[in-house]
Amino acid sequence: MSTPFVKASSVQSADGTRLAVFESGNPEGPVLVAVHGYPDNHTVWDGIAAELGDRYRVIAYDVRGAGDSDKPAARSSYKIARLVEDFTAVIDAVSPDTPVHLLAHDWGSIQSWGPVTDPALAPRIASYTSISGPCLDYVGVWMRDRKHPGASLRQALKSWYIAAFQIPALPERIVSLGVVDRGIARTELKGHPAGALANPVQRSEADKVNGIKLYRANMPSTLARPRPVRTSVPVQVLAPVDDAFVSVRLATETPAPFVDDLTISEIAGSHWVVSESPERVAAYVDAFAVKNAPAAPAATRKRKARR
C-alpha cells in the first residue's frame, strides 16, 4: 500500500529543531494530529489516514530523531518539555485558530500527555485518544500504590527494556544485532499469524537508535519524582488486550484519578494495533472526535450567519 501522506512542510521548534510535517485527507475537514511512538515514524499512521481521510484533515509529523525530522545529538533535546514545544509548533502551523483532535501511540502518547496537561495548550485540544502510552507522572503515582503490588510487579517485568535502555552503548548494540526488529516483528504479527501486515512500517536505523534518548532523558527522573497534573481535555484510552509492553491495568487505571472526562475501551489487538487493525482504531477515534467536536471560531460563525 502506498502512503496516503504527502509532505506538507517543515516547521521549526522553539530550540531550532526542524520537524517534517505530512498531510492527508480532506483539507476542509476537522484537523486530526497523529503522533507516532518508538521506533516508528509517521508512516505508522498510513492505515488510519486511509480510513479517516474522507472526513478529516490528517496531520502526522516525524518526531525529533525519527524519519525526515532533525536528529539532535544531546540527550536533553529529547525531554518531554522539548517534545511539547514540537507539538506546539506543529499545531501553530496547521490549526492556529481551531482546536485539534489528538491521536497518539506509544512514545507519541507518552509525550502527548504533556500538552494535554498543560493549561496553556489544553484548550487547543478538542479530544485526545491515547494508545499504549500512559502519562509517566501518572505511572509514577500508580506504581507507588500499595493496593496492587502484583499488578505493579507484572508491569515492571513487562518494562524490563526500560532499565536496559539506560545502560550506555548496550541498546545501540542490541539494535545493530537486529534484536529490536525481531521483537517488533513477533509483536506486530501476533494478530496476523498467517501473513504480513497490510501496512508495514519502514523503520530506519536512526529511528531505532535516536529514540533510545527518549527513555534516557525522561524515564528515570519522571518516574522517581512524579508531578501529576489534572486535565479537563476529553481523553479516550484504547487499551489493546494483547499489548506486550503496557498492561491493560496500567493503561486504564493510571489516568483515572487525574482526568475529568475519561473514556476507556479495551480493544482486540497487540501493541501495534494502529498498523495491525487501523479500521478498528479509526472507528473509535472518529466516534470520539464527533462527540467532542470543537465549536467553530467566532469569525466563521459570523460568516455563516451573514449568508
Cα 79 to chain centroid, rounded: 15
What pLDDT is attached to residue 5? 95
What pLDDT is attached to residue 160? 77
Q: State the CB neighbour count (10 A cutoff) for residue 70.
A: 18
Q: How confident is the model at residue 197 (pLDDT cuts 50, 70, 90)?
A: low
Cα 131 to chain centroid, rounded: 7
Name the average pLDDT for the chain.
Answer: 90
Across 154-172, average pLDDT: 83
What pLDDT is attached to residue 288? 98
84-118: pLDDT as tens digits: 999 999 999 999 999 999 999 999 999 999 999 99
Domains of the chain are 6-294 (3.40.50.1820)
Check whether 307 has a pLDDT greater than 50.
no
Check whether 253 has a pLDDT greater than 60.
yes
Check whether 54 has a pLDDT greater than 70.
yes
Pairwise pLDDT comparison (38 vs 305), residue with the higher score? 38
Cα 143 to chain centroid, rounded: 21
What pLDDT is attached to residue 233? 98
User: Model's pTM, two decimal places?
Assistant: 0.91
Pairwise pLDDT comparison (182 vs 84), residue with the higher score? 84
* Percent of residues, the chain, with pLDDT higher than 90: 72
* Percent of residues, the chain, with pLDDT higher than 70: 91
Q: Which residues, 6 or more positions from 142, have their beta carbon under 8 angstroms from its beta carbon? A: 152, 250, 253, 254
What pLDDT is attached to residue 304? 44
Across 270-274, average pLDDT: 93
Check whether 16 has a pLDDT greater than 50.
yes
Q: Which helix (H) or strand (E) holds 283?
A: helix 278-291
The answer for 62, left when phi > 0, alpha when psi is -120 to 50, beta otherwise, is: beta
| CA–CA separation, 194 and 181 (whole Å) | 19
Q: State the CB neighbour count (10 A cutoff) for residue 139.
A: 26
DSSP-assigned letter for residue 189: G
Check whether 299 has a pLDDT greater than 70.
no
What pLDDT is attached to residue 191? 55
Check whether 78 has a pLDDT greater than 90.
yes
Check whether 211 has a pLDDT greater than 50.
yes
Residue type, 37: G
Q: Which residues, 6 or more positions from 33, have their beta carbon under 8 angstroms from its beta carbon? A: 59, 60, 61, 87, 90, 91, 94, 95, 100, 101, 102, 103
Write the CA distances from 266 to 66, 79, 236, 243, 280, integer angstroms. Answer: 29, 30, 11, 11, 12
Write the CA distances from 11 to 7, 19, 86, integer angstroms. Answer: 11, 5, 9
Pairwise pLDDT comparison (47 vs 187), residue with the higher score? 47
Check whether 145 has a pLDDT greater than 50.
yes
Which of 42-51, 165-174, 190-199, 282-291 is predicted least confidently?
190-199
What pLDDT is attached to residue 3? 78
